[in-house]
Amino acid sequence: MTTNLGNVSDGTGRDQPVLTIDRLQVTFATDGGDVHAVKDVSLNVGAGEVVAIVGESGSGKTVTAKTILGLLPETAISSGAVIINGNNVISVSQSTLRKIRGRDVAMVFQEPSTALNPVFTVGWQIAEGIRAHSTDGRRVSAKEAKERAIEALRKVGIPDPETRVNYYPHQFSGGQKQRVVIAAALALNPGLIVADEPTTALDVTVQAEILQLLRDLRDNYGTSIVLITHNMGVVADLADRVVVMYQGDVVEEAPAKVLFAEPRQEYTRKLLAAVPHLGRNSASEGARGRLHQEGKILVEAKNLTIEYPGRFGRHGFKAVDDVSFTVSENEVFGLVGESGSGKSTIGRAIAGLTRTTGGSLKVLGYEMLDFKERSFRPLRKEIGFVFQDPAASFNPHLTIGECVAEPLLIHTKPGAAEARKKVGELLESVQLPASYAERYPHELSGGQRQRASLARSLALNPRLLIADEPTSALDVSVQAKVLDLFKDIQEQYGFAALFISHDLAVVDMLSHWVGVLYKGRLVEQGIGNHVMGSPQHDYTKKLIASLPVPDPDEQARRREAHRSLLGG
Amino acid sequence: MSTPQLTRPKQPLFSRLPVISHLKKSVGLQRGMLVVGVVLSGIFLLTSIFAPLLAPYGYSQLSDASGSFPTQEAPGGKHLLGTTVGGYDVLSRVIWGSQTAVTVIIVSVAMSLFLGVVLGLLSGYFGGWLDRILVVVADAIYAFPTLLLAIVISIVISRGQSSFWGGIFSCAFSITVVFVPQYFRVIRAETIRLKAEPFVESAKVLGASSARIIGRHIFKNATRTLPLMFTLNASEAILTLAGLGFLGFGIEPTSAAEWGFDLNKALADTSSGIWWTGVFPGIAIVLTVLGLTLVGESINDLNDPRIRGRKRAGRTPAPGTPAGPESPANPAEAGKS
């Protein structure tokens, strides 16, 4: 095991790096043979520095992060050096590793609701880490640990920490839970925090708060942060230096401003070009009125209400509350909102997967309020549906060809040869080779599966297509291709579409008309360009201001604007 | 349902069969357990198929050309494993007994499989009152001691008479009743889980009928755990059969050989030092159950990627040498570590 301490011994005082990774390699044993997850990674993190490791799924960024804390599973073998405070994490004993964790380096996980144990109070969970380490050679008492837990909660901006320390995780909101996780990471004042996609599971408005918190930690306490993310907006917002990874290798390393301004490597350039940028490439560019209003109205919602029944003795939950909108032929209607805003519920109601409970929803002239599966079934061939997770929306036991042929077999009953020909045509129309019909879903990549899913929904030439977060499970570069394809096909086939997404930039790229949902209410609707450019409703303003754009200078300006918006 | 053949399977059918595919992906102790299980079960199966050739005498044979068999004779000579108090040849009864056991396993597991899967799919997919009634019935059957239930059903079906098929069916039916709730529960739970999966919803959105959704999309995905349950239940079926025979509700020695029944008859011999009448049927039961359980447990472990053992990843190059990320792992070396 080589321990190249070059950078550590060269540096003096504050310039000494907090973390040095030198020629790190990680290999996993799998059923399909060895997988080299990390091939050759070297990087340094200085004191008070935020280094972002970006890359698409499978680039090895999370494995690198886990190696820093010695969290690799048994099937992995690592070599090289990961040096924190003079200790090589890869070669130290388990007991030394335990001492390093928490004291020198701590981790913030992606999903705060699973990172916290639901049966213990948050105070107990923070104190657990404090009590696991002795201070000045003596054990920390329970009382002292709790005091320090309260202090940690105060640091991360939880109001009234003396009371909240006794709360259970479910009593906090998602963003507050992430604050608690960060508080637990901070409890022992580690010099380094590894944050693995810390905001991916959160809504944009909450994400902005957490990013602000992480920035404050760096500014006030000098904590170094290794930020693992795929979101270029987050990188632009927070990072000082960026390391771009691709298939286990470092492709490029540069200060954030330099990287965004003049990326040197081809891969980085492609990655940055694929990131949707709010206000660029809008589908409603230059539109003055609502487009495509000459055709028939396909979907018409009037005071639509969808209520989920409550538990005994409680009121039901109104997922959709008094929403009115229309979707006309040829039009792409974009529906934006955060989680829980009811956007998916509306999509599912139009497809007849969720029952409406009030108001009126007319789909192709059919009143969904008195929905009967039997009478609605003939209309189903007019409606296509693209699901969020392409991996789950295909039957794993059927081939892509059989899956794409399903709608044909159900509605038109063609012969085998005819079906095969049609499937080939469909796959080619979504830019997949016809030979892919013989593959199973798991043999395709995420983007290919989503194309196949699009092919399936188009099989019967529907007049209406509902796309529920079709690209949120995909990497940016793949997302860009799928979105382009979607746009082309929509123009070619001329179907109306309801495009549901939480990503404002993505919705703006495709939609002619945009509706913003907030807690089940449609707070604003208008031409995409106008809604994004000059939002009217307070919530829309906040939503757009919270969205980080992939450009450090512009993002710094937006951040100031955001802060004044919240202050004023 | 007309489904055009759009694909050809990528691997030959043989290597995709449950036990074969598991054997291929196993290593170390897990492979050893599976191999032992497969060998024991194989011996059991072959014995039952070739019983007429292997057994020196018939299962109810009491005499041959040289006269009547001696009773309670110690192993050796003409009767390798000795004879029983009734004068039956122990070796022959043990060998013929495997045939009875296999028949009962096949009939009972096939019936419970069919019933349990169909009821589970319908109950899980449609829900409502049908589901509630079936769940209550299944729970009620669970509440009965299995052997008691088997005895009652055995009496009802055979009405005291004993023939080969009558005995087989009464055993198989009673085992079926006990097992149906297990299959029902597992398939129902899987169906309820799958019902909410996007691919089932996407089939619904396409306008597929309920029959098509159940038959084409849910059935195959819900039955993944069946090979495991089959093997585990097979061993339990043998134990129930032996228990029934031991209590005297099995098959009479004149119509078929049955290990549990022989054990029952051997009960009195133990006090007089005659060990061979009980030990050999007992060993047959133990080895058969052990074999089937080993297969089942190994399949269970191998199906779970978190428990499944793997060869270690290839060793990384020695210290000092520049690490070559492109160099492929050496499988021979990996095997050794």
Residues of chain B neighbouring A419 (CB-CB closer than 8 A): 4, 6
| Candidates B203, B205, B311; nearest CB to A29 | B311
Residues of chain A neighbouring B217 (CB-CB closer than 8 A): 395
Tens of pLDDT, residue by residue over A208-256, are 889 999 999 899 888 999 999 888 889 999 999 999 999 889 999 999 9
| Candidates B6, B315, B328; nearest CB to A399 | B6
Residues of chain B neighbouring A385 (CB-CB closer than 8 A): 202, 205
What is the SS3 assignment for A256-319? HHHHHHCCCCHHHHHHHHHCCCCCCCCCCCCCCCCCCCCCCEEEEEEEEEEEECCCCCCCCEEE
**A117: its two tokens:** 């144990």
**Which pLDDT score, from 0 to 100, does residue A135 have?**
67
State the angle between helix axes of A416-429 and A446-458 in degrees (0 to 180), rounded to the nearest 10.
Answer: 120
Range in A312-316, A494-498, B105-109, B214-218 the model is least confident about: A312-316
For residue B42, give the amino acid letter: G
**Which pLDDT score, from 0 to 100, does residue B40 have?**
92
- How many Å lie between the alpha carbon of B176 and the closest alpha carbon of chain A? 29
Tens of pLDDT, residue by residue over A374-409, are 889 888 989 999 988 888 889 888 889 999 999 998
Q: pLDDT band at residue A3, thresholds of 50, 70 and 90? A: very low
Q: Does A407 contact B201 at a Cβ distance shorter than 8 Å?
A: no
Q: Which residue has the tokens 């050096």?
A: A81
Tens of pLDDT, residue by residue over B177-230, are 888 888 899 899 999 999 888 899 888 888 888 889 998 889 888 877 777 778
Q: Is the pLDDT of residue A180 over 80?
A: yes
Average pLDDT across chain A, whole number? 87
Comparing alpha-carbon positions, the chain B residue that sits nearest to A439 is: B7
Specify the higher pLDDT residue, B4 or A440: A440
Which of B3, B199, B303, B316 to mutate: most A Cβ within 10 Å? Answer: B199
Average pLDDT across chain B, whole number? 78
Residues of chain A neighbouring B202 (CB-CB closer than 8 A): 385, 387, 393-394, 453, 456
Partners of A297 in the β-ladder: A328
**Which pLDDT score, from 0 to 100, does residue B312 have?**
62
| Candidates A30, A36, A393; nearest CB to B325 | A36
**Which pLDDT score, from 0 to 100, does residue A141 have?**
87
**A482: its two tokens:** 């799928």
Q: pLDDT band at residue B10, thresholds of 50, 70 and 90? A: low
- How many Å lie between the alpha carbon of A402 and the closest alpha carbon of chain B? 6
Residues of chain A neighbouring B211 (CB-CB closer than 8 A): none
Q: Does A39 contact B316 at a Cβ distance shorter than 8 Å?
A: no
Q: Is the pLDDT of residue A523 over 90?
A: yes
Using the Cα atoms of residue A389, residue A392, residue A395 and residue A400 in order, give the sign of their dihedral.
Answer: positive
Q: Residue B136 CB: number of other CB atoms within 10 A?
A: 10
Q: Does A395 contact B198 at a Cβ distance shorter than 8 Å?
A: no
- DSSP labels, A61-118: HHHHHHHHTT---TTEEEEEEEEETTEETTTS-HHHHHHHHHHTEEEE-S-HHHHS-T
**Which pLDDT score, from 0 to 100, does residue A476 have?**
85
Q: How far is CA B294 from CA B31, B40, B142, B323, in A?
A: 10, 9, 25, 42
Tens of pLDDT, residue by residue over A45-84, are 999 999 999 988 888 888 898 899 888 888 888 889 999 9
Closest CA to A218 of A243, A250, A195: A195
Comparing alpha-carbon positions, the chain A residue that sits nearest to B322 is: A23
Residues of chain A neighbouring B199 (CB-CB closer than 8 A): 392-396
Q: Does B5 contact A383 at a Cβ distance shorter than 8 Å?
A: no
Q: How far is CA A38 from CA A76, A225, B195, B320, in A?
A: 11, 20, 38, 19
Please give the Cα distance from B208 to B219 (Å, whole number). Answer: 15
Q: Does A438 contact B8 at a Cβ distance shorter than 8 Å?
A: yes
Comparing alpha-carbon positions, the chain B residue that sits nearest to A73 is: B306
What's the CA angle centered on A165, arms A341 and A238, to 5 degrees? 55
Residues of chain A neighbouring B313 (CB-CB closer than 8 A): 27-29, 34, 75-77
Q: How many CB pairs under 8 A join A and B?
A: 129
Q: pLDDT band at residue A199, thresholds of 50, 70 and 90? A: confident
What is the SS3 assignment for A120-169? CCHHHHHHHHHHHCCECCECCCHHHHHHHHHHHHHHCCCCCHHHHCCCCH
Contacts with A97 (C-beta within 8 Å, 6 or more apart), sequence order: A70, A89
**Which pLDDT score, from 0 to 100, does residue B118 have?**
92
Comparing alpha-carbon positions, the chain B residue that sits nearest to A389 is: B198
Please give the Cα distance from A375 to B218 (Å, whole number). Answer: 24
Task: Give CA torsion, residues B74, B79, B83, B88, to 10 deg.
Answer: 180
State the angle between helix axes of B276-303 and B259-266 in degrees (0 to 180), rounded to the nearest 10.
Answer: 140
Q: pLDDT band at residue B325, thresholds of 50, 70 and 90? A: very low
Specify the higher pLDDT residue, A509 or B301: A509
Q: Residue A424 CB: number of other CB atoms within 10 A?
A: 18
Q: Is the pLDDT of residue A1 over 60?
A: no
**Which pLDDT score, from 0 to 100, does residue B223 have?**
77
Q: Does B3 contact A409 at a Cβ distance shorter than 8 Å?
A: yes
Residues of chain B neighbouring A74 (CB-CB closer than 8 A): none
User: For A396, what's the count of Cα atoms within 13 Å in the CB-facing half-sphere?
Assistant: 9
Specify the higher pLDDT residue, B329 or B176: B176
pTM metric for this prediction? 0.77
